[in-house]
């Protein structure tokens, strides 16, 4: 059985090694804190209030706080120490608070020796009246007597330095709270120098674990806390403050630009939002629990950004994808083919003559840099749509419908590519080598991709990739990983789609090949256009 969160928090407080808690103020931010590797969450009164747009003056009711932190414990497995302000009342309110916090999985609570309603410690020092020591000790005892989990943690926060009462009063109070049963002492300061905190630590000399919140004395090297045997350091508000800066910058940019073009690459991709919400778990659960097996969902991303040459005057005002084959634009034909197999939700990446690319029902993403960037860059712009069950296709291919059918019949959770085996020795760039050549007969076994692109010598090639692939649940994730890796090493802008597939293979992931024999044209010039009409 895994360790209880109360036990984990107690261990962080009592072990010799110093621990860090990171502020969070919502289910989402708590999950981000956990993902960053922190061992615990600080449920900050300041930032939870701020996230609701209210003041840190007990404007949220205690039950609103409890309901809210329940979302934070739900999204995480690490312990959460809640900033319980003054306990929201007297000893009796404190008893109910502890019982409720245990019920929602909170591992511990901090209460401060001020009066309800409190004011944030960094505001109006003249308005920081301290609680009566005996009354506060009663509150600590009541809290400790109410816990049903023996490891639930109660931290007593001493505000004597904040209120200007000096070191002797701080030590006197800490000692009283320690004797009343507090598991640790949080000593707070609003000075930019750690001098009064260090004086407290010297005098206290390890009588009970000490928690610090170095918001104001942030320049102090962490080693100084370690050297003085501090138990827990709380970074109390930086996730919220970072998000405020990001929200302000993004809102201002969109307002000024009246467009998302400059902002989109700088904000978290939508699939990251879905991941943080735990969509993957739901997808798994749907497979297990939904009564009727729903047809696998199918969507498509069509890359139609590239400029065209070799078409005489035909592409001076429209891109290749809008050239007509038997009276219908190439792109429209392709989308009809996909729709025939239940494809709903098509994203078209446009570039060259973007405004002329217009097909009903598609969502458009524009690659303004289509002249200097390649296929992988275009795909990355549509990354949000690269989800489980996505067809990825070039916008200039004309297919016979049975190619799509063959692909979908064989497609699984990984990546599956349609490969034309009649073009085995072709010099085209998307040459493919597979584990075996096309036998020309119907075979049951799966054919695995060995290599794709320039690295495959024409003589070693088993065919040419048609420019159409299917990404299942894993395949979509692998392609997104490949995009991230290419972005990280600076090759994304000029990479081809086949380079991304090569990366997937290099990462040890498999990809499958479905052999077809003709039945498609990649329209690159006028001759292709004529050939396509004959399909
Ligand atoms: C909080 O994070 O709400 C705290 C720390 O209590 S402080 O804002 O420094 O008072
Ligand atoms: Mg607070």
Same domain, 212 and 261: no
- 454 CA → ligand 2 middle, Å: 60
Same domain, 277 and 306: no
Same domain, 261 and 181: no
- Strand 184-187 versus strand 343-350 pairing type: unpaired
CA nearest ligand 1 atom 2, residue:
44
CA nearest ligand 1 atom 9, residue:
121
241 is a domain residue = no
Per-residue pLDDT band for 527 (boundaries 50, 70, 90) equals confident
Which two tokens mark 112?
């401060």
Ligand nearest to the CA of 48: 1
Higher pLDDT, 400 or 307: 400
| Residue that is written with structure tokens 């039945």 in the block | 519
Ligand nearest to the CA of 162: 1
Percent of the residues in the chain that have a pLDDT greater than 90, as a whole number: 81
d(CA 187, CA 517) in angstroms, rounded, equals: 75
pLDDT at residue 205 tops 60 = yes
270 is a domain residue = yes
Phi, psi of 239 (to 5 degrees): -70, -45
Per-residue pLDDT band for 293 (boundaries 50, 70, 90) equals very low
106-144 confidence digits (pLDDT tens): 999 999 999 999 999 999 877 789 999 999 999 999 999
Same domain, 266 and 291: no
Same domain, 36 and 134: yes
- 21 CA → ligand 2 middle, Å: 14
Same domain, 227 and 334: no
- 119 CA → ligand 1 middle, Å: 10
d(CA 199, CA 171) in angstroms, rounded, equals: 10
Ligand nearest to the CA of 50: 1
pLDDT at residue 501 tops 50 = yes
pLDDT, residue 65, reads: 98
Best probe residue, ligand 1, of 45, 72, 85, 155 (max atoms within 8 Å of C-beta):
45
Same domain, 156 and 22: yes
Same domain, 271 and 292: no
Question: In whole angstroms, how far apart are CA 8 and each of 18, 66, 106, 151, 483?
Answer: 14, 20, 11, 9, 38
Q: What ligand 1 atom has the least distance to the C-alpha of 56?
A: 3
Same domain, 174 and 280: no
- 427 CA → ligand 1 middle, Å: 66
Best probe residue, ligand 1, of 41, 56, 88 (max atoms within 8 Å of C-beta):
56
252 is a domain residue = no
pLDDT, residue 306, reads: 82
Q: What ligand 1 atom has the least distance to the C-alpha of 45?
A: 3
- 126 CA → ligand 2 middle, Å: 17
pLDDT, residue 427, reads: 67
Same domain, 312 and 209: no
User: 93: cis peptide before it, omega within 30°?
Assistant: no
Can you give 216-261 as a three-state secondary structure string? Answer: CCCCCCHHHHHHCCCCEEEECCHHHHHHHHHHHHHHHHHHHHCCCC
Highest mean pLDDT among 187-191, 296-300, 425-429, 520-524: 187-191
Best probe residue, ligand 1, of 213, 217, 234, 240 (max atoms within 8 Å of C-beta):
213
pLDDT at residue 523 tops 90 = no
Same domain, 164 and 212: yes
Supply the DSSP symbol for 114: B
Which two tokens mark 209?
């674990």
Q: Which residues line ligand 1 (CB under 6 A)?
A: 44-46, 83, 120-122, 213, 215, 236-237
68 closest CA partner among 28, 115, 114: 28
251 is a domain residue = no
Q: Is 56 a catalytic residue?
A: yes
Number of independent structural domains in the chain = 3
pLDDT, residue 525, reads: 80
Picking from 89-98, 125-134, 461-470, 511-520, which range would have the lowest pLDDT averaged per residue? 125-134
Q: What is the CATH number of the domain that holds 104?
A: 3.20.20.60
- 131 CA → ligand 2 middle, Å: 16
What's the pTM value of the predicted model, to 2 decimals? Answer: 0.62
Where in the sequence is the domain holding 38, given as residue range(s)? 5-236
pLDDT at residue 329 tops 70 = yes
Q: What is the CATH number of the domain that holds 396?
A: 3.90.550.10
Averaged over 479-500, what is the pLDDT?
Answer: 96
pLDDT, residue 461, reads: 93
CB 250 within 8 A of CB 31: no
35 closest CA partner among 383, 285, 268, 284: 268
For all residues of the chain together, what is the average pLDDT?
Answer: 93
Averaged over 328-342, what is the pLDDT?
Answer: 92
For 479, the enclosing helix (H) or strand (E) is helix 473-488
CB 329 within 8 A of CB 321: yes
Per-residue pLDDT band for 291 (boundaries 50, 70, 90) equals low
Same domain, 170 and 72: yes
Question: In whole angstroms, how far apart are CA 418 and each of 363, 462, 464, 518?
Answer: 24, 12, 8, 11
């Amino acid at each position: 059985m895994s360790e209880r969160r109360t036990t984990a928090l107690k261990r962080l407080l009592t072990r010799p090694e110093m621990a860090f808690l990171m502020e969070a103020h919502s289910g989402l931010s708590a999950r981000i804190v956990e993902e960053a590797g922190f061992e615990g969450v600080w449920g900050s009164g300041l930032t939870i209030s701020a996230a609701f747009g209210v003041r840190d003056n007990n404007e949220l009711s205690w039950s609103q706080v409890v309901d809210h932190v329940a979302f934070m414990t739900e999204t995480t497995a690490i312990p959460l120490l809640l900033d319980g302000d003054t306990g929201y009342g007297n000893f009796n309110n404190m008893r109910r608070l502890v019982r409720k916090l245990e019920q929602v999985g909170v591992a511990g609570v901090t209460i401060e020796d001020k009066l309800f309603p409190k004011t944030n410690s960094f505001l109006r020092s003249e308005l920081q009246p301290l609680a009566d020591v005996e009354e506060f000790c009663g509150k600590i005892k009541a809290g400790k007597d109410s816990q049903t989990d023996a490891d639930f943690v109660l931290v007593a926060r001493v505000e004597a330095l904040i209120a200007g009462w000096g070191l002797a009063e701080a030590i006197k109070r800490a000692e009283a709270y320690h004797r009343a049963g507090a598991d640790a002492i949080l000593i707070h300061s609003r000075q930019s120098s750690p001098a009064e905190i260090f004086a407290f630590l010297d005098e206290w000399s390890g009588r009970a674990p000490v928690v610090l919140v170095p918001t104001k004395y942030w320049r102090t090297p962490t080693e100084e806390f370690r050297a003085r045997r501090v138990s827990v350091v709380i970074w109390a508000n930086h996730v919220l403050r970072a998000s405020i800066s990001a929200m302000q910058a993004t809102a201002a940019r969109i307002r000024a630009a009246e467009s998302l073009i400059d902002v989109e690459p700088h904000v978290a991709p939508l699939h990251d939002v879905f991941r943080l919400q735990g969509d993957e778990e739901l997808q798994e659960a749907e497979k297990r629990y939904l009564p009727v097996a729903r047809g696998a969902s199918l969507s498509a991303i069509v890359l139609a950004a590239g400029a065209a040459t070799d078409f005489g005057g035909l592409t001076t005002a429209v891109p290749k994808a809008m050239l007509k084959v038997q009276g219908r634009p190439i792109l429209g034909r392709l989308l009809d083919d996909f729709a025939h197999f239940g494809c709903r939700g098509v994203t078209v990446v446009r570039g060259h003559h973007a405004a002329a690319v217009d097909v009903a029902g598609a969502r458009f993403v524009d690659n303004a840099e289509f002249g200097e960037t390649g296929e992988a860059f275009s795909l990355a712009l549509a990354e949000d749509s690269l989800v489980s069950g996505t067809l990825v296709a070039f916008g200039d291919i004309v297919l016979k419908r049975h190619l799509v059918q063959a692909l979908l019949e064989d497609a699984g959770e990984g990546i599956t590519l349609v490969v034309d085996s009649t073009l085995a020795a072709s010099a085209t760039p998307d040459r493919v080598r597979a584990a075996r050549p096309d036998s020309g007969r119907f075979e049951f076994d799966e054919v695995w991709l060995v290599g794709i692109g320039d690295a495959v010598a024409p003589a070693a090639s088993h065919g040419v990739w048609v420019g159409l692939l299917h990404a299942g649940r894993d395949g979509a994730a692998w392609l997104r990983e490949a995009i991230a890796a290419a972005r990280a090493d600076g090759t994304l802008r000029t990479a081809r789609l086949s380079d991304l597939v090569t990366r997937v293979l290099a990462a040890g992931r498999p990809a499958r090949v479905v052999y077809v024999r003709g039945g498609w044209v990649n329209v690159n010039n006028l001759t292709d256009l004529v050939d396509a009409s004959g399909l």
